[in-house]
Chain A
């Protein structure tokens, strides 16, 4: 973390460019020689790192997009409004990267549009592909306001502004379907997925844990941005997110324990077999510890500790998704799967692109409130309807005043 605290941009740029160069070479190999040339995927493990991490985690970590827009636009919890832009940017970039990673993972990416015309409503994957398509479109519409603002296109902003609420409602519904359906995908393999993870409640567990992951990402990104660009959210907002995160983790953990208990799985969970150890890593390290940490107001008020809890939550989430998609299959499939070096590097390539795009966004668009103050000060009083493009059409003036008050930079 010391490197981040004193960002040496030239060094990180060099790392970034090296990763991109390697990624492009591997991209060429992947599309000319096939999946076998770059991955350790096999007939026993047809899905690996790209599905387990790039797809399942990518979508989950983008969940802040629907959680925060719902909180602010539907439930009018205005103190979280300064967070909206960062989460929409994250979600939009997240989905773009998920779609890009899918282009690598699916065998025939040129046929990616087929589910739009060749319907099979019995397939969860059919639902997933429609959710990805529609929600990426919705996220683009939500994100476009920031671009229009940068380009100073007031008319486009007005149109974008007018469709914000329908977009938010559609986004929440599509996200709920998408997050849960990634769990539903695994309901058809009761004989293959280990009973520690196979449960009828997978869709609900996937949905709740994605909410936690989205909130944790918010805290995580804000800290990184503050280190890299000196732009971040104020502690009261982050503490608030930490408080909500504790509640979500509590509900998720309780449901997980209840589910394991009703299925009589406590013995297997604690027998220290390979699966049990992976489960405990996920459950204790990535759920119990951050949950207990976040219960303490002192942790929530301290930037470093809060960041630590968020990182643990994210790691726990990633472990859970990899357990469901990989660990849980190893017993039944009789073998182990570890991603190849090339496979891992391609994932690193996508993550690097994600970080790069987020950095570009923070630098050039009006993402974090310090920035917003600078740009928004003039428009706020004179022309409220072309102020911040993401501001709700529905925001009442008094509430808007409140939100502005919260946004006063700490520095």
Chain B
């Protein structure tokens, strides 16, 4: 599996130190997607809120899809309704989705949301404004941010920008780019004033992409089928042969009474040939 983040893919950097909590990003996201909610009330992700902000002490914690380089959601989707684009975003195709919700179970960040009260439900999550990206524009949330707290650019640029900000003001920042290496890297990265776990983000995720865990097993299955099939057939042949031999002995003894069963033995010989 491809585990190397593409440098030129589009990404988002969220700088919690610069964020003032104005919720301009949330508002822009709601407007772009024609969602009815109020920005000030949007503290949790939902099927009608692709980004949300809650306060953790004095800090503003933004939630959204991380657009993983090797996304679990896309890996587990049986029909490929979710996939990682070369441009960067992980996007969802409603017309393919069967509604198994494995993406929601598998997402290490608990991002995808479901339309629980619809008879034709779909999975909902941030698409990183892929249509805007295609036109060369930044995401709606980045465009709305007046403080440089949410910025859009190539992943390479943003990693460099994050390093620069941390280096220029080491007292204000915790020296870690959350998402640079976590789970093989994500296209949404955070820099924070404190260790991320103290801010309610999932920490200690490791650097190995999670899809490797299932692929390690799945890639062995063709071998299991071939070896298993051969072993079962071999077992059958041995036990069958053993029965035939003992049957032949028995038939020799009870030739007169077992007329009908000779045919069965004959069939077996035929099967084997």
A interface residue numbers (CB < 8 A to B): 31-37, 39, 41-44, 46-47, 70, 73-76, 106-109, 111-112, 114-115, 118-129, 165, 169, 172-173, 176-177, 181, 184-185, 187-192, 200, 203, 333, 381-385, 393-400
Contacts and interface: CB of A to CB of B under 8 A. Distances in A.
Interface size range of chain B in the complex: 35 or more
Contacts of A129: 78
Contacts of B202: 191
A185 B102 contact: yes
B160 interface: no
A122 B75 contact: yes
Contacts of B114: 35, 43, 46, 107
Contacts of A165: 236, 271
Interface in B228-249: 228-229, 232-233, 235-236, 239-240, 242-244, 246-247
A252 B250 CA distance: 40
B interface SS class: helix
A394 B98 contact: no
> Could you tell me the dominant secondary structure of chain A's interface residues?
helix
A404 to B, nearest CB: 12
Given A106-B101, A111-B99, 18 more contacts: A34-B117, A43-B116, A70-B232, A74-B236, A115-B79, A120-B79, A122-B215, A124-B217, A124-B218, A165-B271, A169-B229, A185-B214, A189-B105, A394-B240, A394-B271, A397-B265, A398-B250, A399-B246
Closest 9 CB pairs of A and B: A107-B99, A36-B116, A397-B261, A396-B247, A396-B243, A125-B78, A46-B104, A126-B78, A118-B79
Given A35-B121, A383-B260, A398-B247, A189 B106 contact: yes
Given A74-B239, A399-B243, A114 B98 contact: yes
Contacts of B224: 173, 176-177
A187 B210 CA distance: 9
Interface in B34-90: 45-46, 72, 75-81
A27 to B, nearest CB: 12
Contacts of A190: 210, 213
Contact of A121 (B115, B119, B218, B228): B218
Contacts of A115: 78-79, 98
A333 B107 CA distance: 12
A109 B105 CA distance: 19
